[in-house]
């Protein structure tokens, strides 16, 4: 596939097509647990990551999805897993050993936070420093002789914070450490960590890559030498594989990701601008707003599209917040993000995560995943719910 094609075209035609015997336009779903092993002397890779032997090693639909993701991001290779958490755990357990040190975004996805605060230190004797990776000098100061990994989220979950990827990559590589980036909040369209020095790019494909709220998956993208290690340990021997059907669903969703992200970004920008001017709103963070604390880095790294993720809060006590959620008619109170419909979830002031977030978040806030609806309709729903709850 030519590398001068536009993203919309690559999303449809990118990767290696593996035609079936009947010439189907859509890739078939290869529901098989194992494959015939050559008996003609053809060399077989018994690790399974370069040969079709058993579905836990690799399957055709998985390979199609990996190829398309690589074409879109510029990665040499990719590995896909049953969930985003499986992909994250695969990377951390592949490249961190007992006695190693990792630097990690303090504001991060809850499972990542738990892995680095609890499981990796206590079970595997891995040293961890959690800090605000938007503070590059704090990252630099935290480096130790045994630092092997610096992990950031861009944008961060749930605050949408942005880190200076170029500088953090330089810090990591100056001491021989890997830099990994969880780019789930932006998808593979709005940000390109591998272009800015990241060694591995990680996504929960459940979100913007799939985009339809009907399939879980995770991916790791990067250099072949690194991805092969992840595949051998975590796919073959941990067994966190992605099923052929889910791989097929996600590849289907990925084809429309560039179009969806334009709509997500445009609608979220309009909604964020409404929230910023609304007297009922206590604060709002969205990377596309000039008021966002890392807006300049968002402009530098986010390709002119700022995704669909907003965090904000309204004035009022817990009862006001609960009435607001109950009054919403178009927006659904639910976890996850990146779906075609708008989803919102509330972190109340009693959440144990709040002390690790910026001060403005510590009274509670909403994480808002703006869907593909018309911006005027979403704004109207937010406004009427604010009026019903008494915040406006």
- 31-45 confidence digits (pLDDT tens): 999 988 888 988 888
Q: Residue 18's pLDDT is what? A: 67
* Residues 143-163: tens digit of each pLDDT: 999 999 999 999 999 999 999
**pLDDT over 80 (residue 48):** no
Q: Is the dihedral of CA 179, 184, 188, 192 positive or negative?
A: negative
Q: Residue 180's pLDDT is what? A: 98
Out of 29-33, 56-60, 248-252, pick the least confident: 56-60
> Per-domain residue ranges for the chain?
7-254, 259-389
Contact 235, 56 (CB under 8 A): yes
Contact 339, 90 (CB under 8 A): no
Q: How far is CA 325 from CA 46, 232, 318, 335, in A?
A: 53, 45, 11, 13
Q: How many helices (H) and strands (E) does the chain have?
A: 14, 12
pLDDT above 70 coverage of the chain, percent: 98
Q: How far is CA 240 from CA 45, 116, 174, 219, 387, in A?
A: 20, 20, 32, 11, 47
- Per-residue DSSP letters for 44-113? --TTSSSS-SBTTT--HHHHHHHHHHHHHH--SEEEEESSHHHHHHHHHHHH--TT-EEEEESS--HHHH
Residue 355 banded pLDDT, cuts 50, 70, 90: confident
Q: Residue 96's pLDDT is what? A: 98
Distance CA 169, CA 190 (A): 19
Distance CA 201, CA 182 (A): 6
Contact 70, 221 (CB under 8 A): yes
38/329: higher pLDDT? 329
- Per-residue DSSP letters for 221-270? EE-HHHHHHHIIIIIIIS--BPPHHHHHHHHHHHTTHHHHHHHHHHHHHH
Residue 189 neighbours by CB distance under 10 Å: 27
Q: Residue 54's pLDDT is what? A: 87
Average pLDDT over residues 19-42: 84
Distance CA 84, CA 92 (A): 13
* Mean pLDDT estimate for the chain: 94
Q: Residue 20's pLDDT is what? A: 66
Q: Residue 19's pLDDT is what? A: 66
One CATH from 3.40.640.10, 3.90.420.10, 3.40.50.720, 3.30.710.10 for 7-254: 3.40.640.10
* Residues 373-389: tens digit of each pLDDT: 999 999 999 999 999 99
Beta bridge partners of 127: 101
Topology, domain 259-389:
3.90.1150
**pLDDT over 70 (residue 3):** no
* Residues 263-321: tens digit of each pLDDT: 999 999 999 999 999 999 999 999 999 999 999 999 999 989 999 999 999 999 999 99
Within 8 A by CB and 6+ apart from 110, the residues are: 353
**pLDDT over 80 (residue 100):** yes
**pLDDT over 60 (residue 2):** no
Q: Residue 156's pLDDT is what? A: 96
Distance CA 159, CA 367 (A): 8
* pTM score, whole prediction: 0.95
Residue 13 banded pLDDT, cuts 50, 70, 90: confident
Residues in the chain: 392
Unique residue bearing structure tokens 């030519």: 2
Distance CA 153, CA 88 (A): 11
* Residues 250-262: tens digit of each pLDDT: 999 999 999 999 9
Q: How far is CA 282 from CA 74, 89, 159, 285, 311, in A?
A: 40, 36, 15, 11, 11
Average pLDDT over residues 219-235: 96
* Calculated CA dihedral for residues 315, 318, 320, 326, nearest 10 degrees: 130
CATH topology identical between 7-254 and 259-389: no
Q: What are phi and psi of 221, to 5 degrees?
A: -125, 140
């Amino acid at each position: 596939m030519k590398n001068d094609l536009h993203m919309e075209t690559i999303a449809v035609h990118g990767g290696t097509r593996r035609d079936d015997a009947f010439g189907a336009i859509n890739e078939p779903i290869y529901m098989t647990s194992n494959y015939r092993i050559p008996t003609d002397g053809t060399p077989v890779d018994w690790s399974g990551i370069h040969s079709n032997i058993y579905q836990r090693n690799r399957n055709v639909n998985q390979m199609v999805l990996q190829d398309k993701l690589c074409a879109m991001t510029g990665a040499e290779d990719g590995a896909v897993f049953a969930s985003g958490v499986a992909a994250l755990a695969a990377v951390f357990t592949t490249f961190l050993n007992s006695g190693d040190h990792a630097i990690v975004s303090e504001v991060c996805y809850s499972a990542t936070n738990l892995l680095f605060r609890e499981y990796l230190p206590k079970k595997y004797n891995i040293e961890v420093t959690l800090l605000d990776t938007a503070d590059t000098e704090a990252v630099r100061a935290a480096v130790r002789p045994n630092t092997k990994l610096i992990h950031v989220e861009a944008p961060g979950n749930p605050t949408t914070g942005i880190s200076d990827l170029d500088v953090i990559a330089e810090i990591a590589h100056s001491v021989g450490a890997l830099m990994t980036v969880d780019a789930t909040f932006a998808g593979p369209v709005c940000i390109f960590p591998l272009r800015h020095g990241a060694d591995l790019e990680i996504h929960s494909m459940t979100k913007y890559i799939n985009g339809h709220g009907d399939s879980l998956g995770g991916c790791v993208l990067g250099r072949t030498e690194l991805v092969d290690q992840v595949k051998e340990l975590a796919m073959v021997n941990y067994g966190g594989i992605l099923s052929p059907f889910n791989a097929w669903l996600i590849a289907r969703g990925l084809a429309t990701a560039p179009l969806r992200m334009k709509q997500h970004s445009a609608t979220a920008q309009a909604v964020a601008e409404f929230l910023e001017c609304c007297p009922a709103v206590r604060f709002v963070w969205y990377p596309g707003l000039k008021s966002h604390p890392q807006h300049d880095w968002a402009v530098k790294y986010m390709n002119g599209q700022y995704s669909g993720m907003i965090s904000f809060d309204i004035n009022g006590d817990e009862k006001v917040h609960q009435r607001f959620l109950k009054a919403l008619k178009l927006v659904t109170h639910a976890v996850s993000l990146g779906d075609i419909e708008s989803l919102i979830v509330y972190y109340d002031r009693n959440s144990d995560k709040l002390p690790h977030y910026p001060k403005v978040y510590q009274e509670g806030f909403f994480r808002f995943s703006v869907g593909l609806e018309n911006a005027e309709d979403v704004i109207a729903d937010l406004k009427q719910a604010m009026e019903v709850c008494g915040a406006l």
